[in-house]
Amino acid sequence: MIKKLHHMGLRSGHMYSAGFAAIGASICTWLISATAEDAGIDRADRWGIFIGEWAPTLFVLGMALRMEEAREEKEEISETAVFDKSMAGSSRARAGV
């Protein structure tokens, strides 16, 4: 699933930003519910906690995407190193070394 999200263009920074946005949205919904609704503080607490619970999930997805990004970078570096070595070997062969 993480690999699919990564290939769809989702990056760790997007998830970290969404996690912080969820924290801000949790505070905002609590404030709005506490002041604008006559349902009482209990309902405001439930709204704030409900949205606040999204943040850890989003941060964990961000960490998983960061690990996928690191794995992909490592593969690119190793592919480049193999290509560089093969090019160096073919250059020596052409030079008669």
**Ordered DSSP codes for the chain:** -HHHHHHTT--HHHHHHHHHHHHHHHHHHHHHHHHH-SS-HHHHHHHHHHHHTHHHHHHHHHHHHHHHHHHHHHHHHHHHHHHHHHHHHHHHHHHT-
At residue 1, the pLDDT reads 87
Return the domain boundaries, the chain: 2-68
At residue 70, the pLDDT reads 92
The pTM assigned to this predicted structure is 0.71
Residues 62-97 pLDDT 10s: 999 999 999 988 887 877 766 666 666 655 555 555
pLDDT band for position 61 (cuts 50, 70, 90): very high
